[in-house]
Structure 1
Amino acid sequence: MKGSADFRPDAWARVTARLVADIDGLSVEAAERLLTDARVNRPKTLNAVDCYLAITPGGVCDPDSACPRGMMRLSHILLAAGYTTVHPPQCTQCGQRSALTNVGPSGRICEHCLRANRPTVLCARCGKPALHRRNSADGVVCSNCYSRDPSSKAPCHRCGRVGHRRRRLPCGGVLCPACAPRPQHTCVECGKDRPAQSITENGPICSTCYSRINMSWSCAACGALRRRKSGGNVGPHICGICRRALRNDVQKASTRTALPASRPPRVAPICVFCRRQRPIMNRWPAGPVCKVCAKRARSYPGICGTCQQSAVLIGLNDHGGRICGPCAGASLDYRCRNCGQAGMHANGRCSRCVTAQLLDAALGGHDGQIPDQLRPLADALAAAPDPRSVAVWLARSDAARLLRTLAECGETVTHDLLDALPPGRQVNYIREILVRTSVLPMRNERLERLEPWLDRYLADQPADHTLMVRNYAVWYLLHRARRSPRPLVTAGAARIRRRVRVALEFLTWCDARGRSLTDIDQGDVDTWLATGDWRRPEVRPFLHWTTQRRITGAVSAPAPKPAPPSVFIDEATHLEQLHRCLHDDGIDVDLRAAGALILLYGIATWRVLNLRRNQVHTRDGETFLVLRDHELLLPPQLADLMAQLPRSTRRSTLPDSDASDRLLFPGRTPDRPVDTGGFGKRLKRSGLTIRAGKNTALLGLAAELPAAVLADLLAIDVGTATRWATYAKTEWNDYIAARTSGDNG
């Protein structure tokens, strides 16, 4: 396109100038617009048109049949625009000036001549000419005979109906056109991946955007933007409501007249719930209600202000409160015809009953019954707080499609079966919800994913390097991670992957220098460290492992020294941000609680996000936070924030857990904490400088408390507390002297 790297501005200028010179009355702007309409602005087409016009004097007004396709399109566009001096190329057989998109024996020909020149083959069954031919056991048959052949049909793997094949499955089955998923395209209007309703010049458009753009029309009577109605006897641009009103007026007058020009435009009524001018769907005892509010009221029942029962609230009392239909004096009482509960979603049933039917269809095996292994998951999904979210998840999520495939295959779902699938977010999510519903046993997922990743990473590496790095990763890195009393976190898994990559890079570097592990010395290691980036010191554990096994000599890499903190905030800013966390109701409660813990005690963000409910205790009216073996007294305002955690969200399709060890900051699934990076961005958008605030809080505590007390209070390493005490210019001797003077006193 124009503006790409291959676009030639000089060719564009020559073609534009040639077009303006050969056609009278054509301006430069109009010429560029016509060239763009003919898609001559594409680099390849532009170069072809430029070369053609350079060697053909009359190429603009009288192109021949051998001209480029872009020139042919341009000639037809010019003729349609009223420039009669342009004569599009003629068909080399019939002489018609139509679109020549095919090549025949004498040159380019039109579509009619192409069909006339096509060799005629008679169908082996019906004897008619077979234009669209298919091969069969009887010979060449036409498409009609092939569609009636039973051998061209097969039972659908999903619905069981016998029909034409649309898509083959890896298991050998086929899907019919109704069950086969339509190709996904990225809509150019909304940006979502959906089946395309139409492929326009700008790109594919989904059905929702197509209806909004192409199927909407401004009503000539009321002026509202509604779905287009056509084919009526009162005009094609009148909405359905105005059409019915006009039809009634016409029937009463026994004559058919057009819409009076003096009739005032019709004003849409105001919805009694949202107070907006929208098309009215229902007229309830409360008043006119739009489609959005009516659907929300039927799908989400509430507590009636009069009878205090769960019902669909369609009326208003004297104080403006929502009440149900019977209390408002109406017979409307929207209840599910299946379970009798309040609320209706589709076909007279509530959202929970509709979701239960969808679950039976999605998780049912070959016999239509949900396997016993997946029954706990089905029960948990059926008991979700918002069953509509489960229905949407079943219809749109890739994870739900994977779960449906696992249920249809009939195999027992295990961790090994999921490990054999291609890695992805959908596999991880299915594993998490199966573990949470006790279908699969719990395991350290970050640790268990490392070995499959190691197999994929070393698949195309040299054999000697693969053997060395695999032994190092399995028997040193993973062995130490499994023996650690703490579960492996995301940062720890990333560190193991980085050390595996650095070890493989070091072996490749040694081979490039003609050295082996048994020959390298400390000078080689120093050269490796001096000529690389910040990751190269991670070779230290690999050299330690090879030295212990006498693969290498006495070589080592220095241990990385922690850099002193360099980011702080002043005391006034620190207190202002802490005050906002404790008192600003405009910030989410989870951000306020986490920010207060970080700014008050200097606790790392990842440790705050891994806190659980059983670490918060209340005793004698005071709230304590347990960090390892010590209790940390919380201020009353912070204690109130901690009592509101975890906050209610709809991040998961499963119901919330009431376990005592539930995370206070759950992520996408309640069994895993929220992502540290995303949570840090939310804190930053709220105006909280967490890293600088944490350093300021730790520095203040280190200046007031000895290192030993600080380490026990915040459950951090003594070495870390000692470094912070050094930064704060405190000494152990001050602590000993303070204790000695206290004992003497």
Structure 2
Amino acid sequence: MILEQHICNACYSRLRRHPESCPGCDQIKVLAFYDSVRRIVCATCAGVPSRFACITCGSEEQLTGSQCGTCRLTERLRDVLADKAGAIHPGLATLYDYLLTARDPRAVVRWLRREPVGATLRAMAAGELPIRHSTLDALPLSPRVRYLRRMLISAGTLPAIDVLLNDLENHAAAFIAGLPKEHGAITGQYYHWELLRKIRQRSANRAMTPSSYSTRSTELRQIADFFAWLDTNELSLPSLDQASIDRFFAHHHSQGAVGTFLNWAIRRGLTSSAEIPGRKLARPRPPVPDDVIWNKVDQLVDDESVPLGSRVIGLLVLVFAQRISDCVRLCRSDVTDGQTVRIALGRTPLTLPSPIAVLLRRHLEELGARRPYIGGGPEWLFPGASPHHHISEASVALHLVPHQIHAREIQQARMDYLVQQVPASIVADTLGININTAIRHAARMNSTWGSYPELRANRPDL
């Protein structure tokens, strides 16, 4: 009996999962009883024994079985992270402390049950596996292992690395090892001395993105497919001639990776000199009309079906010519909320228009409750699901698809418009855009802002 009536198991479970503030004692409890004035209150205020309280601490929040989420998580962590002496392994103590800051301990308990998470952490705690990145490198590559690695980095258990770059190196090593010996030897040389060197140089300034990871993986597969084509046609790199190269590219489109590889092979003397077809330039899209852009702005301001963070990013793209890749890397420190809301997209902060400012304030209010862990980490303005990681560009782009917001075309159109309104240097300074890019747009639009100081100097009446 609950509230003097019989309820089904589903309603009983829902009641346990959603404790509220009790009107009698102001504590978060399961409200399932009547007090003397017929208010719905907790068991204590109703003067009856509680059937919901955690058997360990008495809490009625985040109940799971006979315990609250925090007590259940504490027990699970002591089980998973204990060394042979029964104490938390010193090398995993920071992970223990970090996971206990979870806002929903039940989610962490479920995560620890998944494999290979629980088994790997138990083996580390028991001293069977070292607490190092190499232990995770030996596991089959998967999103779950990637999440575990990021969790260990976030907790300070493992040193910080570029996780996607590390995964790419592991994937490439396994992929190349699976190729025929001759093909693998050449592909390995190309990957290590040409591709990986450039990737690491870029990664020094900015961590690898999921799209870049996917592109590099595809390039390796395309090169392997090219070697398979050579075998099928009884060809080899030394015997490759212009006619064979032309035949390959005539029947295989979007093979820029193969073209880059062949140019490298020619420079290294692995194949005879030949002309490699260049990439065909994409046909330019017609410019996006200004009224279309502002219609999309109105749609995003009002559309509550789009996640709030993606709406804000979409508006920054539409109004301020931002790239999604730059927006997802914004931090909370880039926003100043006073009488007006200002955001630092470039060196000089911009004051946001009221509709965008209202949405951004709402987003900031929601961030605190959505953070899965209380302790530390980068203060991303648009945090993602993985620990200490911002939201992915692909996720935001997917949310904007219903409004047909194609960021690249809109960015170009807005840039063309903005350089006609203010000098290119100001556009570059406030929007965080390379000055040469802004000048190039200004030249294409025949903007006269660049000659303004000279015209003023030559006027006799000034």
TM normalised by structure 2 equals 0.81
Please show how residues 323-334 of structure 1 align to structure 2 within 5 Å.
323-327=41-45, 329-332=46-49
Identify which of 464, 472, 497 aligns with 2:217: 497
Check 1:344–1:641 CA distance in 2 against 1; reply closer, same or farther (3 A cut): closer
Q: RMSD of the alignment, in Å?
A: 3.8
Please show how residues 69-468 of structure 1 align to structure 2 within 5 Å.
281-283=1-3, 291-314=9-32, 323-327=41-45, 329-332=46-49, 335-343=53-61, 345=63, 349-395=67-113, 399-400=117-118, 402-404=120-122, 406-407=124-125, 410-468=128-186
Is residue 2:455 matched to residue 1:715?
Answer: no
Identify which of 610, 618, 626 aligns with 2:344: 626
C-alpha distance in structure 2 between counterparts of 1:562 and 1:725, whole Å: 22
Deviation at 1:371, TM superposition (A): 1.9
C-alpha distance in structure 1 between counterparts of 2:230 and 2:143, whole Å: 37
C-alpha distance in structure 1 between counterparts of 2:239 and 2:178, whole Å: 25
Report if the CA contact (8 A) 2:123-2:129 is conserved: no
Check 1:725–1:539 CA distance in 2 against 1; reply closer, same or farther (3 A cut): farther
Check 1:395–1:494 CA distance in 2 against 1; reply closer, same or farther (3 A cut): closer
1:200-227 per-position Cα deviation (integer Å, ceiling 9, x unaligned): xxxxxxxxxxxxxxxxxxxxxxxxxxxx
Deviation at 1:632, TM superposition (A): 3.5
Report if the CA contact (8 A) 1:598-1:690 is conserved: no
Check 1:544–1:353 CA distance in 2 against 1; reply closer, same or farther (3 A cut): same
SS in 2 for 1:599: helix
Letter aligned with residue 611 of structure 1: L
SS in 2 for 1:458: helix
Report if the CA contact (8 A) 2:54-2:67 is conserved: yes
Deviation at 1:479, TM superposition (A): 0.9
Deviation at 1:599, TM superposition (A): 1.5
Deviation at 1:418, TM superposition (A): 0.9
1:517-573 per-position Cα deviation (integer Å, ceiling 9, x unaligned): 5665666544543342112x3234334434554555665546546535426655444
Check 1:381–1:505 CA distance in 2 against 1; reply closer, same or farther (3 A cut): same
Please show how residues 435-584 of structure 1 align to structure 2 within 5 Å.
435-484=153-202, 485-507=205-227, 509=229, 517=237, 525-535=245-255, 537-551=256-270, 555=274, 557=276, 560=279, 563=282, 565-566=284-285, 570-584=289-303
C-alpha distance in structure 2 between counterparts of 1:316 and 1:582, whole Å: 44
C-alpha distance in structure 2 between counterparts of 1:522 and 1:731, whole Å: 44
Letter aligned with residue 217 of structure 2: R
Letter aligned with residue 741 of structure 1: L
SS in 1 for 2:341: strand
Match of 1:32 in 2: none
SS in 2 for 1:638: helix
Match of 1:740 in 2: 454
Check 1:314–1:462 CA distance in 2 against 1; reply closer, same or farther (3 A cut): closer
Identity of aligned residues (%): 25
Is residue 2:329 matched to residue 1:613?
Answer: no
C-alpha distance in structure 2 between counterparts of 1:681 and 1:578, whole Å: 17
SS in 2 for 1:617: strand
Deviation at 1:594, TM superposition (A): 1.6
C-alpha distance in structure 1 between counterparts of 2:228 and 2:74, whole Å: 57
Larger proportion of helix: 2
C-alpha distance in structure 1 between counterparts of 2:374 and 2:354, whole Å: 27
TM normalised by structure 1 equals 0.53
C-alpha distance in structure 2 between counterparts of 1:720 and 1:313, whole Å: 61
Check 1:423–1:320 CA distance in 2 against 1; reply closer, same or farther (3 A cut): farther
Deviation at 1:470, TM superposition (A): 0.9
C-alpha distance in structure 2 between counterparts of 1:324 and 1:717, whole Å: 61
Letter aligned with residue 107 of structure 2: S
Letter aligned with residue 452 of structure 2: A
Letter aligned with residue 310 of structure 2: L
Match of 1:680 in 2: 397
Report if the CA contact (8 A) 1:539-1:557 is conserved: no
Check 1:393–1:650 CA distance in 2 against 1; reply closer, same or farther (3 A cut): farther
C-alpha distance in structure 2 between counterparts of 1:592 and 1:580, whole Å: 10
Letter aligned with residue 731 of structure 1: N
1:596-615 per-position Cα deviation (integer Å, ceiling 9, x unaligned): 11221232223322322233
Report if the CA contact (8 A) 2:342-2:352 is conserved: yes
SS in 2 for 1:383: coil
Deviation at 1:384, TM superposition (A): 1.5
SS in 1 for 2:159: coil
Check 1:573–1:361 CA distance in 2 against 1; reply closer, same or farther (3 A cut): same
Match of 2:382 in 1: 665
SS in 1 for 2:336: strand
SS in 2 for 1:449: helix
Question: How many residue pairs align between the two structures?
Answer: 454
Is residue 2:418 matched to residue 1:701?
Answer: yes
Check 1:512–1:324 CA distance in 2 against 1; reply closer, same or farther (3 A cut): closer
1:331-357 per-position Cα deviation (integer Å, ceiling 9, x unaligned): 445544433434484675423212322
Check 1:420–1:546 CA distance in 2 against 1; reply closer, same or farther (3 A cut): same
C-alpha distance in structure 1 between counterparts of 2:304 and 2:36, whole Å: 32
